[in-house]
Structure 1
Amino acid sequence: MTRETWKTRAGFILAAVGSAVGLGNIWRFPWMTANNGGSAFLLLYLGIVLLVGVPGLLGAFVIGRRSQRNPVGALRDLSGGSRLWGAFGLFAVATTLLLVSFYSVVGGWFVRYTAASATASYFGQSGAYFSAISHGPGALAFGFAFLAASAAIVYGGVEKGIERATKLMMPAIVLLLVALTAWTFTRPGALDGAAFLLSPDVAYLRANALDILPAAVGQALFTLSLGTGTMITYASYLGEERSLPSDATTIAVLNTGVGVLAGLLVFPLLFSFGLDVGSGGPGAIFVSVASAFASLGVFGRVLGVAFFGVVLLAALSSAISMLEIPVAYLVDEHDVPRSRATVGVAGLVAVGTAACALDASVFGLLANTLVNLLMTAGLAGFLLFVGWVLGRRALAEYEAGAGEFARSLGTPWLLFVGVLIPIFLLFTLITGLLPVLGVSVTELDVMGVRVASSTLSLVGAVVVTLLAVAGLRRPDSML
């Protein structure tokens, strides 16, 4: 079966940015920011995008283009047929299936709110309205409708489906966000919302860094589609003439820019209407923003359709990228026609969507805790693979098509993704996992010495990384 490719570089960039610029930027980013200190969270998030996100994107691109396969086939084939690495690829595919399950529910919320804005259904009762529609049979129906629309685009293929759709959606998303943000800043009090987001709160960050670190890492990986194999799959359709460093930087900058733009829309909007930005929860943006639009009467209907419509487009652009991963797996590994693969994957996701739509606790587990933990573990594994299984082959792939300056950074990049970033990610994973396991310890007594739990987490991360390096190291590894 002939494998598809991107027709243009712009198509790949827009599709990859579309994967990144979705609900993570516009729905989850304001929610996470409001719950984690505002500007302090943003500062930490931006640092992680720069130091972890961009190198991590490059690692995913290297695996994808080098193998021309989905995550399962890529890790298995590049490791010389290792079943263990193939299983880790399946872990990434399974993570994606879980993510798109809850994602479809939220996408269904935006379908419903776009229509409800036109009819003013939630005006005067925004909180009660969200409580009524967020879970239950109605949420299931709209979640299925969103999933069907996403599957229809993936059904069309890489060039005629995904590339064509994202070329239309991404410019529309950015233009609508810019227009809505510009209008928001004409309102009194909007600058206070911008200050909440942009004024660095170093004191809060210093006091709460470890508490908000897992959320910031999870948000960065979620918005950049890292740790699930999405970018491995998308890069597998690339040719050797592309500069991976250039593409990774462009995608990270555009994605982060849209995320900040979304924050500059949501927070000034909430401040201008005197609404609580820290109420938190997955329904925060619906209740708060809907309350603002409801106070504007007929004009609020127009704004509501525009706002919820643009987020719906963003959600679609991300959902199709997640669906593409298991579809590519079936097409590549089992020679299943794309049409049948898409229908089968959509049916499987529908089961998870039903569980999330009908049970709020299942939804909360997937949308918050598991997103942070699974994506962090996934990226750590991918980068250890790049540094110690691919090694010099990864460096050769990185340099193919890259400019002179980018090539000069190749060796430092390989060391960074093979050692330092895995230590950081595993430290974050341990820190985030302890509360899930019910462990809440600030200090421990180790042979009569009081040691902070964060120090022990760091030591654990270093030990696990070194053990992984010792086990994975090959003759063509980087060191």
Structure 2
Amino acid sequence: MTRATWRTRVGFVLAAVGSAVGLGNIWRFPWLTAQNGGGAFLLLYLLVVVLVGVPGLLGEMVIGRRSGRNPVGAFGTLGGDRWRPLGGLALFASVVVLSFYSVVGGWILRYTVASATGAYFPAPQEYFAAIDYGVGAAGFHALFLLATAAVVYVGVDRGIEVATTVMVPGIVLMLGGLAVWAGTLDGATGGYEFYLSLDLAYLRANFFDVLGAAAGQALFTLSVGAGAMLTYASYLGEDRSLAADGTLIAGLNTGIGVLAGLVIFPLLFSLGVDPGAGGPGALFISLAGAFASLPYSRLVGIAFFGVVLLAALSSSISIYEVLVSYLVDEHGASRGGATAAVGTLFLVTGTGAALSPSLFTLLADTIANLALTAGLLGFLLFDGWVLGRLALEEYELGAGRIATLAGRPWFVAIAVILPLFLAFTFVTGIGGVVGVTPTAGQSSAIAVAVVGGCIALFSRRSRA
């Protein structure tokens, strides 16, 4: 069976940007920023994207292009069957993420439709409470999942590439227009100050909490750790520069996230709404309720939630494709059969999250962050200690002179430095789950021990 490929570089970059853009940028990013000090969070987030996200993204893409396979097949092809469970971790992370992601996608679909009538304007909190979980939420989750499946079914070049080539520019144009409009509102200056000014006292007092939130957001929004970028890179040819493409993807994704903040915070401050209120429901309560007081409120609602819906679809498509590619590559399934099988799985898991607030919260707030962090940690250790020089060779294929010069520093970073950071983040996250918060020194010591043990294990198994 001939494996699909991207038709153009622009198509691949926009598809990957579409995977990274999404609810992470427009739903998750603003409320995490609000709850973690505004500019303090933004600063650490940008640093984590540059120092961790971009090298990690390249590490995942190296495995994908080198193998030309899905996550499970990639590790089996490059390292032998003993490494296939590492790809299984990526599949697990994908299932976790899309199981709650599709529920939120259903909320957005419902709000896009409801904006035409202004149904949520009179009592936004009561409206969201009535539709967030239950049979109705399960139904809209299914509709959102069906739209995702339809694009994936058509294929990589004719479905995903074509759809995201339309979606991503549409997202940028609509967000840009909303940002310009939001800047004309009275009180918008307060939103800019909150979002862009740095409170050093807050940052010093809450550094590790803000860093953990920024790291989790960076991994979530760059779509690393779940195998989506690995899968997309597996459809690439050797003439592409991974360094150039990966940096461009991360830059565009981060720019869209920052742009979303330039829409949301000026709008909230102009309407006197506390930016930290509402948590994960802020987009649907604080912001949606505020639309009622604006001129052309229904059109504003349709435009805003239309942007969010496009972003959510572009991301869900990439996560869905991870499991479809696994069934096609490893089990010889047809794309239609694989799409139907994966859809059935997510219909069940997503319905569970739509009916159970506790399950939704567990998936979205805890398991997803831990799974993505563990997934990327495994990818990078595999690059550094199993592939070794082959990872560096893959990185250098198609790279220009500047990217090639950065190859060795990149390799050192993914083999040692970034795994230590990811292990520290993982240990801190586990501590939060079990209710025991280790000190920075304790977390660092545990992280060093974990990475050291993993390096010894990976090195020994690679020689076996």
Pairwise TM-score range, normalised by the shorter structure: over 0.9
SS of 1:350's partner is helix
Per the alignment, residue 418 of structure 2 pairs with 421
| 1:459 Cα offset (Å) | 1.1
> Counterpart in 2 of 1:9?
9
TM-aligned CA deviation for residue 296 of structure 1: 2.3
Q: Deviations over 1:358-396 (max 9, x none)?
A: 111111111111221111111111000001111100010
- Partner SS for 1:227: coil
- Runs of 4+ more than 4 Å apart: 474-477
Alignment partner, residue 300 of structure 1: 297
| Correspondence 1:137-216 to 2 at 5 A | 137-216=135-214
Q: Does 1:386 align with 2:372?
A: no
User: 2:257 — aligned with what?
Assistant: 259
Distance 2:283 2:462 in 1: 49
Give the TM-score normalised by the residue count of structure 1. 0.95
Question: Is the 1:392–1:476 Cα contact (8 Å) retained in structure 2?
Answer: no
- Residues 388, 474 of structure 1: 8 Å contact kept: no
The equivalences for 1:54-453 within 5 A come to 54-79=54-79, 81-83=80-82, 85-296=83-294, 299-440=296-437, 453=439
Match of residue 49 from structure 1 = 49
Letter of the aligned partner of 2:431 in structure 1?
L
Q: Which string of whole-angstrom CA distances, capped at 9 and with x for unpartnered residues, describes residues 101-158 of structure 1?
A: 1111100111110111111101111111011011111111001000000011000000
CA distance in structure 2 between the aligned counterparts of 1:287 and 1:304, rounded to whole angstroms:
13
The one-letter code matched in structure 1 to 2:458 is L
Q: Residues 292, 258 of structure 1: CA spacing in aligned structure 2 closer, same or farther, 3 A cutoff?
A: same
Provide the residue aligned with 1:450 in structure 2.
Answer: none
Q: In the alignment, residue 124 of structure 2 is paired with which amino acid?
A: S
Once the 2 structures are TM-superposed, how far is the Cα of residue 411 of structure 1 from its aligned partner?
A: 1.0
- State the percentage of identical aligned residues: 60
Quick one: distance in 1 between partners of 2:119 and 2:401? Answer: 57
Alpha-carbon deviations, 1:26-47, whole Å to 9, x = none?
0010121111111111111111
Paired AA for residue 89 in structure 1: G
When normalised by structure 2's length, the TM-score is 0.98
1:320 CA displacement: 0.3
Judge conservation of contact 2:380–2:414 (CA < 8 Å) in 1: yes
1:205 positional shift? 1.4
Does 1:468 find its partner at 2:439?
no
CA deviation vs aligned residue, 1:403-424 (integer Å, no higher than 9, x gap)? 0111111111101000000000
Deviation at 1:472, TM superposition (A): 1.9
| SS of residue in 2 equivalent to 1:10 | helix
Determine the C-alpha separation between the residues in 2 that align with 1:107 and 1:93: 20
Q: Tell me how many residue pairs correspond in the alignment.
A: 463
Give, in whole Å, the separation in 2 of the partners of 1:454 and 1:17: 34
Deviates more, 1:51-60 or 1:199-208: 199-208
* Alignment partners' CA distance in 1, 2:110 and 2:456: 52
Q: Distance in 2 between matches of 1:241 and 1:44?
A: 34
Match of 1:458 among 421, 439, 444: 444
1:63–1:386 Cα contact (<8 Å) kept: yes
Give the secondary-structure state (helix, strand or coil) at the position aligned to 1:282: helix
Q: Is the 8 A contact 2:58 2:243 kept in 1?
A: yes
* Corresponding residue for residue 444 of structure 1: none
Q: Is the 8 A contact 2:278 2:286 kept in 1?
A: no
**1:49-89 Cα shifts (integer Å, max 9, x gaps):** 0000000011011000000000101011111x132x21111
Q: Partners in 1 of 2:456 and 2:41 — Cα distance? A: 35
Query: How far apart, in 2, do the equivalents of 1:195 and 1:328 lie?
Result: 45
